[in-house]
Structure 1
Amino acid sequence: MKTNKVAHIFFDLDHTLWDFERNSALAFTEIFKKNDLQIDITTFLKTYIPINNFYWGKYRNNLVTKADLRYGRLNDTFTELAMQVSQEQIHNLSEDYIAHLPNNNYLFDDAQHTLEKLQQKYTLHVITNGFSEVQNLKLNNSKIDHYFRTITTSEEVGVKKPHPEIFEYALQKANAHPEQSVMIGDNIEADILGAEKFGMSSILFDGENVNDYSGKKVNQLKQLLEIL
């Protein structure tokens, strides 16, 4: 992929640069303690993570609202675990989780180093389906916001990846063209196929090496320096 044409690199944030699962687990540990909820965090996450992924899939396709996602993923998890948690407490936990999530900001290995090196050659940007108020805090608190010329969130645009409109909006904001742009993300549907449908190149970040994907793929962020 090393070519003089590439000038702009667009990153997803969660699960790509920002270690969402690690930071999320720490946030839940904090809010369960704060709310005096007795539950083993490992047991909770084993049930919660696939439910959360299911809701995010529905959210990407406009089948649930942000409020539905925030409440439903917790309600369904507690139901699956046969835990009696009131609606009021679930709403409180939902708000606490969003407030605590940006407090822990572990990045994937080599994120800072990779961004530092890439910034010397390319203009960097972010396109994220995450909630605007949280994503900006994550970028600032993890001290990587300064690497990016533009930040585009789905709430800002009104549509989510993989919808072509968010890529069109982000590239216009960045004054970039599809043929000179690369999208890097962890989600095949949202990041990879969405970008390619819009005419961009893409690279899958597969940190756990679990995706059977035949296109460009890295398991470590530092590998990007070898192919870009």
Structure 2
Amino acid sequence: MKINGIKDVFFDLDHTLWDFDKNSALTFSKIFKIHNVAVNLEEFLHYYEPINLDYWKLFREERIDKASLRYNRLNDTFNKISFQADSTLIHKLSIDYIMYLSTFNHLFDNTVDILNYLKPKYNLHIITNGFQEVQESKLRNSNIHHFFQSITDSEQVGVKKPNPKIFNFALNKVKAHPETSVMIGDNMEADILGALNIGMEAIYFNYLKTVDKHSMKQINNLDELKLFL
């Protein structure tokens, strides 16, 4: 099962190394207390998480801008749970959410162990669609920044995964080649198909263990990367 000839390993960050859902839930708990937002957090997250994913898809496809993403995902969720929140409150929450999000630093199980395992063997990199102002803070606050030779985010490049430009930008930045590189991520469209389309290998991090019809390399736990690398 080992993938031969790999020199450069590219990771997605959110939902792959950095436990976005856990850290996001802690962030909402904090900012709701700060602003005295009396909602049931579990109910809020039940609606917010799929709404957020839908808005990220629109953002990835260049159909909405960053401000719309940040505002509408909150507004739509509050509407779902019939909580009256005016635009001033939503704007304050959206700002505080970004400010506090990277102060929480939960990683997926075995993240540090697998990075320690890979670091002596490969050049490690990040390619992320996340916002530039928070992604580096996430890496530093979770104490994994030092593992990575390069960090490429969509705001640097002006396009988002799965656009081939972001993959080519990341490769060119470190003089890596598609045929000796592998992309590891949780998003089938953005990470896996995006990488495969430019000739990279790809490993799908299927951490939710969903039934998946795609016949490609996949793992449920980061430790399973040792089977391939």
Instruction: Give the TM-score range, shorter chain.
Output: over 0.9
Aligned to 1:219: 220
Aligned to 1:19: 19
Per-residue deviation, 1:211:
4.3
Question: What are the within-5 Å matches in structure 2 for residues 97-108 of structure 1?
Answer: 97-108=97-108
Aligned to 2:149: 149
Aligned to 1:170: 170
Per-residue deviation, 1:70:
0.2
Aligned to 2:58: 58
Aligned to 1:46: 46
Per-residue deviation, 1:174:
1.6
Per-residue deviation, 1:208:
1.5
Aligned to 2:80: 80
Aligned to 1:206: 206
Tell me the SS of whatever aligns to 2:171. helix
Q: Tell me the alpha carbon deviations over residues 3-58 of structure 1, each in whole angstroms, 9 at most, x when there is no partner.
A: 44100000000000000000000000000000001011100000111110000000
2: distance between equivalents of 1:40 and 1:77? Answer: 12
Consecutive aligned runs of 4 or more in structure 1 exceeding 6 Å deviation: none
Equivalent AA in structure 2 for residue 102 of structure 1 = S
Q: Tell me the alpha carbon deviations over residues 66-102 of structure 1, each in whole angstroms, 9 at most, x when there is no partner.
A: 0000001001111111111010000000000000100
Say if 2:39 and 2:83, in contact at 8 Å, map to a contact too: no
Count of residues in correspondence between the two structures: 228
Aligned to 1:117: 117
RMSD: 0.8
Q: Tell me the alpha carbon deviations over residues 134-172 of structure 1, each in whole angstroms, 9 at most, x when there is no partner.
A: 000000000000000000000000000000000000000
Say if 2:8 and 2:180, in contact at 8 Å, map to a contact too: yes
2: distance between equivalents of 1:58 and 1:2? Answer: 36
Q: Which runs of 5+ in 1 are unaligned?
A: none
Tell me the SS of whatever aligns to 2:10. strand
- Residues 211/173 of structure 1: CA separation in 2 closer, same or farther (3 Å cut): farther
Q: Tell me the alpha carbon deviations over residues 171-222 of structure 1, each in whole angstroms, 9 at most, x when there is no partner.
A: 0012100000000000000000000001100000011111403210000000
2: distance between equivalents of 1:64 and 1:208? Answer: 27
Per-residue deviation, 1:130:
0.1
- Residues 15/211 of structure 1: CA separation in 2 closer, same or farther (3 Å cut): farther
Per-residue deviation, 1:2:
2.5
Q: Which runs of 5+ in 2 are unaligned?
A: none
Aligned to 1:132: 132
Q: Tell me the alpha carbon deviations over residues 97-154 of structure 1, each in whole angstroms, 9 at most, x when there is no partner.
A: 0001001110000000000110110000000000011000000000000000000000
Tell me the SS of whatever aligns to 1:42. helix
2: distance between equivalents of 1:186 and 1:205? Answer: 5
Tell me the SS of whatever aligns to 2:184. strand
